[in-house]
């Protein structure tokens, strides 16, 4: 078509030069050459984004907030913004219906990394004594950072399916995941080494800026990905059409309640752990990142374990086990020694990583089995409002209140005691939450046997959390 648009729609297959940098949207299926080119671009995106992800993740933002002397309630909100950002998922679906999935994710990735620069600007405001402006830039930038991530990845898994066939899909997931995690590992090791040499807030500032530049660079590879028009048509379907059906289904209602509880408990227990480590023990940023390495190592090591366990005992029992991991985090912090012993916090962060991957390997497969295939895209967005955004709002309200109460009961004394009390106060919530998760409707044997076909979902879930 000669009409100028933000994408190019091609009605028939065409041979596009390999060096072409423009995105193409086709009516027909992609040719093998187009798939190959798109897959290579996606793999390059995964590698560069892996570096960006580690420079801009929640841990670095929390470390930045602590170094800027932000109050505990402010730091606790950061972890909740990950799920609160789900409010922007409908924006990603609407954008996909207009410009396609690849360009939507690319545009959202640019906005996401601009938001990261807003977070970094808080260091400048703090340097000049403008603490209110620093706090606003930190929280506002963090919200849009996570919100544009949520909007960008709405159709990321369908996009990967669109640019691959049955023969190449496994390779695409495997290679892109490998590149992502290798880049993760290289980045976290480099950041840890640098932070141990120079423990400066300006170094954290530079790391965030570098990560944002890598993220914007990664979006350029997304713009070179071809796709079919099927993704736009799929995203154009009404969002709330299936909501009444979902809210009348007892299985799905209980699933929403359980997923809400798992997310909420994860934010209460795991989301405050870095704050506890930094202000409870006073460790340096470089040493704190060593514990983050333990967390990521646990996620990598335990993922195949929980994947097999989910296939064997079912996602309901695996979700209960994941929730018990969250409760274990709170119990371990309550019993933490007054003096820092490296092995003990390492064990806690290992449990955090294990808890995260256990929840991914349980609530997702349960959703796939409980919701009909033709309703999953619209249903996932609607359900995310309840079990994601709402959980984020509740954590944003409850965690600061419990932190304030813990500080008051500790007599305002700095150190580990106030955080021990905080975790003691979370235990009643966690006990009640376990019984909510236990209310998940058991799946039939027939459905449980189908779990073997859903193991690849775990790979997909990793992509949706980048």
**Which of 52, 9, 89 has the alpha carbon at shortest distance from 384?**
89
Q: What are phi and psi of 249, to 5 degrees?
A: -95, 115
**Do 223 and 287 belong together in one domain?**
no
**Do 205 and 288 belong together in one domain?**
no
- Mean of per-residue pLDDT scores for the chain: 82
**For the segment 355-397, what is each residue's pLDDT rounded down to a tens digit?**
888 887 777 777 767 776 566 666 667 777 778 888 888 999 9
Is the pLDDT higher at 12 or at 23? 23
**For the segment 80-97, what is each residue's pLDDT rounded down to a tens digit?**
888 888 888 889 888 988
**Do 163 and 232 belong together in one domain?**
yes
Q: What is the pLDDT of residue 378?
A: 65
pLDDT category of residue 285 using cuts at 50, 70 and 90: confident
- In this structure, of 32-41, 256-265, 310-319, the range with the lowest mean pLDDT score is 310-319
CB within 8 A of 100, min separation 6: which ones? 7, 23, 25, 227, 231, 232
Q: What is the pLDDT of residue 447?
A: 52
* Sign of the C-alpha dihedral computed for residues 254, 260, 263 and 268 taken in this order: negative
**Do 191 and 102 belong together in one domain?**
yes
Q: Give the highest mean pLDDT range of 167-171, 306-310, 388-392, 402-406.
A: 402-406
**Do 65 and 107 belong together in one domain?**
yes
* Res 303 pLDDT > 80: no
Q: What are phi and psi of 26, to 5 degrees?
A: -115, 150
**For the segment 450-466, what is each residue's pLDDT rounded down to a tens digit?**
554 445 544 455 445 55
Tokens 């296939």 belong to 311
pTM reported for the whole predicted model:
0.82
Last residue of a domain, one of 236, 271, 300: 236
Q: Which domain holds residue 188?
A: 1-236
* Angstrom distance (rounded) from CA 36 to CA 18: 10
Last residue of a domain, one of 196, 216, 236: 236
- In this structure, of 61-75, 240-254, 387-401, 418-432, the range with the lowest mean pLDDT score is 240-254
**For the segment 212-223, what is each residue's pLDDT rounded down to a tens digit?**
999 999 999 999
DSSP 248-315: T-HHHHHHHHHHHHHHHHHHHHTTTHHHIIIIIH---HHHHHHHHHHHHHHHHHHHHHHHHHHHHH-H
Q: What is the pLDDT of residue 295?
A: 86
**For the segment 31-60, what is each residue's pLDDT rounded down to a tens digit?**
888 888 998 999 999 999 989 988 988 888
* Res 1 pLDDT > 50: no
* Res 181 pLDDT > 50: yes
The three-class DSSP label of residue 443 is coil
**Do 229 and 275 belong together in one domain?**
no
Q: What is the pLDDT of residue 192?
A: 87
Q: Average pLDDT in the 388-411 region?
A: 90
Long-range CB pairs of 126-129, under 8 A, 24+ apart, other chains included = 126/68, 126/69, 126/201
Last residue of a domain, one of 198, 213, 236: 236
Q: Average pLDDT in the 124-149 region?
A: 94
CATH of the domain at 407: 1.20.1250.20
pLDDT category of residue 12 using cuts at 50, 70 and 90: very low
**Do 421 and 442 belong together in one domain?**
yes
E strand or H helix that includes residue 358: helix 343-370
**Do 217 and 193 belong together in one domain?**
yes
**Do 73 and 199 belong together in one domain?**
yes
**Do 179 and 283 belong together in one domain?**
no
**Do 355 and 209 belong together in one domain?**
no
The encoded tokens of residue 127 equal 């340097």
Neighbours of 44 (CB within 10 A): 18
**Do 123 and 200 belong together in one domain?**
yes
Q: Average pLDDT in the 93-111 region?
A: 91
C-alpha neighbours within 13 Å on the C-beta side of residue 255: 27
* Sign of the C-alpha dihedral computed for residues 416, 422, 428 and 434 taken in this order: negative
Number of domains in the chain: 2
Q: Average pLDDT in the 151-165 region?
A: 82
Q: What is the pLDDT of residue 405?
A: 93
Q: Average pLDDT in the 163-188 region?
A: 79
């Amino acid at each position: 078509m000669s009409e100028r648009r933000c994408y190019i729609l091609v009605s028939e297959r065409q041979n596009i030069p390999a060096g072409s940098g423009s995105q193409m949207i086709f009516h027909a299926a992609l040719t093998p050459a187009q798939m190959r080119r798109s897959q290579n671009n996606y793999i390059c995106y995964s590698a560069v984004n892996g570096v960006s992800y580690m420079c801009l993740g929640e841990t670095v933002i929390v470390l930045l907030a602590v170094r800027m002397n932000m109050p505990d309630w402010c730091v606790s909100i950061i972890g909740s913004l990950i799920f609160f950002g789900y409010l922007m998922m409908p924006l990603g679906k609407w954008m996909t219906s207009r410009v396609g999935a690849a360009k939507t994710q690319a545009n959202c990735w640019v906005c996401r990394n601009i938001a990261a620069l807003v977070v970094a600007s808080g260091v400048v405001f703090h340097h000049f004594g403008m603490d209110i402006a620093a706090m606003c830039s930190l929280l506002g930038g963090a919200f849009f950072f996570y919100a544009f991530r949520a909007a960008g990845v709405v159709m990321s898994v369908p996009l990967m399916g669109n640019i691959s066939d049955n023969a190449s899909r496994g390779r695409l997931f495997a290679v892109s995941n490998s590149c992502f995690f290798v880049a993760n590992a290289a980045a976290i090791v480099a950041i840890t080494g640098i932070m141990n040499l120079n423990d400066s807030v300006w170094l954290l500032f530079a790391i965030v800026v570098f990560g944002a530049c890598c993220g914007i660079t990664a979006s350029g590879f997304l713009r070179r990905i071809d796709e079919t028009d099927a993704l736009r048509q799929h995203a154009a379907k009404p969002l709330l059409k299936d909501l009444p059906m979902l809210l009348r289904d007892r299985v799905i209602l209980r699933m929403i309640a359980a997923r809400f509880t798992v997310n909420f408990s994860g934010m209460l227990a795991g989301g405050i752990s870095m704050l506890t480590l930094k202000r409870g023990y006073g460790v340096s940023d470089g040493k704190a990142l060593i514990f983050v390495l333990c967390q990521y190592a646990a996620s990598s090591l335990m993922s195949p374990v929980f994947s097999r366990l989910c296939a064997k005992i079912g996602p309901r029992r695996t979700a209960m086990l994941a929730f018990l991991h969250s409760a274990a985090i709170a119990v371990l912090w309550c019993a933490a020694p007054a003096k820092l012993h490296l092995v003990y916090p390492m064990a806690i962060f290992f449990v955090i990583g294990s808890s995260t991957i256990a929840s991914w390997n349980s609530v997702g497969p349960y959703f796939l089995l409980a919701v009909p295939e033709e309703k999953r895209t619209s249903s996932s967005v609607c359900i995310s409002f309840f079990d994601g955004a709402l959980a984020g709002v509740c954590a944003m309200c409850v965690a600061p209140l419990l932190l304030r109460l813990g500080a008051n009961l500790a007599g305002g004394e700095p150190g580990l005691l106030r955080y021990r009390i905080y975790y003691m106060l979370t235990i009643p919530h966690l006990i009640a939450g376990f019984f909510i998760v236990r209310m998940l409707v058991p799946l039939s044997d027939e459905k449980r046997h189908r779990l073997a076909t859903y193991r690849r979902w775990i790979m997909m879930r990793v992509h949706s959390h980048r």
